[in-house]
A and B are shown apart, each in its own frame.
Chain A
């Protein structure tokens, strides 16, 4: 509450870390069933004031259902949703200080762009001049000035999406729910709008919950990300935490690219005591993982997994001497995506390990090419150990 929510400059905005901070929204053991189908499964979640909270997850995992419960269109089957110590479930949708941008836009087809945006403001009976001013501001924000007098059926998909966004923003609600707000926009406009959203959110001190399928977008805008799977929240953390220290293979795999190697715990390393060894193959040396502080060693013989991001995996032709986690293999494929190249290496025991390198020079001649014998390796501190 006290600090400014300026995520970029490293200034601390972390109400979730403060045990005295009261959440704006609180889900307590919320379950939502459609007949027998469990869409939301015993979910607990806290969202704090002034957060930009991102919901991520595969299609059908319950993101929209969660938002619809916040907006009031669905009632939880069991459990409670609180907003500022008040039971949200008792408040009908039109009295909630919550606005939602619908995934299907739900624009009123018989109203122009302007009228659509003004609709919510008119319901509040604000003065005409204020409504006009706010509508113009919103239209300018989504860059729809030439289309203000058009009806939704005369707009393109992206333009409709922007109208829906402007309409939900117009009332500047305490809690704004954005269900895939930028999916239909081109990259440039999307980045611009992301930036605008962040500015508005910060400036007005609003709380946003956003659903997106674009991880980069979630990482860019969000203060925290909740990753969902089949009606459950698997991990809630800041973008950096969720990327660097995922709590399970599902999270590691869902966000970005990852290499996963399974094995059994062998025991602590003889030299460094925060490093644990994992036996992964009888013919090869064990892999080493640096554990986070405070160190708690997992039980010996336990089946666990190592996750390492491709950009943390180096690839060399010569045997590296300065590292421990070394696998030998053959280059199977090279994917060139402009700024980086991704090498797919098949190790001797048949696993595929991906390694990413920045393309520092023009690629006239590659040092490493198809079918080369190579070593892929990473540092003990560059990977994480996962229980499941």
Chain B
């Protein structure tokens, strides 16, 4: 579900860059035009999409999580044998158990990974908000003819590979990296700082990578705001600073919530950044999962980790959905 809303979200954001989009509601109403058949087909498309690309893979993962490891190909048992038919299916179902999930409860490594992932994702979202809000605000206040360019600059990093960008941070953060060289050159520090392979580097990486996801929804909600509201507030005796808190902030709240979720949700499952920038004691569930899959070749436990992660994320995703729907009902 979240895939779809994210897509519309992103297109909304892209159109929001143009100063005026009066044709937007029209485009929506045209979707309703086709006769019943067309309408059904139209509704069917996202559901088929969801079924094929989300539900079926997820069912397979759940199935694997209920199995046991085996030295085989694929590395788990029981497997379903098409030739065996119904009997083989019954046999497979009979072989399922929740052993892996009990294992996850018993070994505190997993719980610690989950908690630490949530913590890192939460703090990163907060940091991204603190950094992203002034950026989005100044973009929305910039002269109208500049805004598309600024928006472009925010999206620009997506044109290079994510992996390369994270790698670049290694070059910046390492002991003899750019940052340390600069700080030492300026005489601010005498000995190089250890930033790479710490949690700090992970925070930097996540905030850097996901900042656009924070800035774009914030920008779109700030840009929509009518300047005359601030004028009305000052007219009624409110200082400009107070007007910002009483008018701008509450009205940008939908953007704040959308941005936080868009950073938080992918950050929880992040694997590349903790792996490349984090240290050996940086615990993140994405990394744990990777180790289970590829180092330990324990597919069932890895699948169980993934299933729990998904259940953990369903809560914020549902909250996010709710908030989006409410926003749409209001008609913005």
Which A residues have a C-beta under 8 Å from some C-beta of B?
71-73, 92-95, 98-100, 102, 104, 106-110, 119-120, 123-124, 153, 167, 171
Contacts and interface: CB of A to CB of B under 8 A. Distances in A.
11 contacts: A72-B235, A73-B231, A93-B231, A94-B239, A102-B231, A108-B232, A109-B251, A120-B236, A123-B237, A124-B237, A153-B330
B102 interface: no
* B interface majority secondary structure: helix
B250 A99 contact: no
Contacts of B229: 106, 108-109
Contact of B251 (A99, A104, A110): A110
A171 B232 contact: no
A106 B226 contact: yes
A107 B232 CA distance: 8
A106 B236 contact: no
A73 B250 CA distance: 23
A71 to B, nearest CB: 6
A57 B321 CA distance: 50
A94 B231 contact: no
Contacts of A73: 231, 235
Nearest to B226: A106
A122 to B, nearest CB: 9
A107 B236 CA distance: 12
Given A123-B237, A171-B236, A108 B247 contact: yes
B20 to A, nearest CB: 16
Contacts of B232: 100, 102, 106-108, 167
B239 A110 contact: no
Given A102-B228, A108-B247, A93 B331 contact: no
Contact of A123 (B226, B236, B240): B236
A120 B238 CA distance: 8
B234 interface: yes
A99 B235 contact: yes
Contacts of B331: 153
B131 interface: no
A374 B41 CA distance: 74
Contacts of A106: 226, 228-229, 231-232
Contacts of A123: 236-238, 242
Contacts of B226: 104, 106
Interface of B: 226, 228-229, 231-240, 242, 246-247, 250-251, 330-331
Nearest to B250: A110
A167 B232 CA distance: 10
Q: Give the most central of B234, B238, B242, B330: most A CB within 10 Å.
A: B234
Given A93-B231, A100-B232, A102-B228, 12 more contacts: A72-B234, A93-B234, A94-B237, A100-B235, A106-B226, A107-B232, A108-B229, A108-B232, A120-B236, A120-B237, A123-B242, A153-B331
Contacts of A72: 234-235
A171 B226 CA distance: 23
B205 to A, nearest CB: 35
Nearest to B253: A110
Contacts of A93: 231, 234-235
Given A109-B251, A110-B251, A153-B331, A99 B228 contact: no
The 4 closest A-B pairs by CB, nearest first: A120-B236, A123-B237, A106-B232, A106-B228
Contacts of B240: 94
Nearest to A94: B234
Contacts of B330: 153
A98 B239 CA distance: 14
Nearest to A110: B250
Of residues A98, A99, A119, which shows the largest number of chain B Cβ atoms within 10 Å of its Cβ? A119
Contacts of A171: 236-237
Contact of A94 (B235, B246, B247, B251): B235
Given A94-B238, A94-B240, A119 B231 contact: no
A95 B242 CA distance: 14
B145 to A, nearest CB: 14
Nearest to A154: B330
Contacts of A110: 250-251
A123 B331 CA distance: 30
Nearest to B229: A106
A100 B229 CA distance: 12
Contact of B236 (A92, A104, A153, A167): A167
Contacts of A109: 229, 251
B144 to A, nearest CB: 15
A107 B226 CA distance: 10
A278 B216 CA distance: 72
Nearest to B243: A94
A114 to B, nearest CB: 14
A232 to B, nearest CB: 26
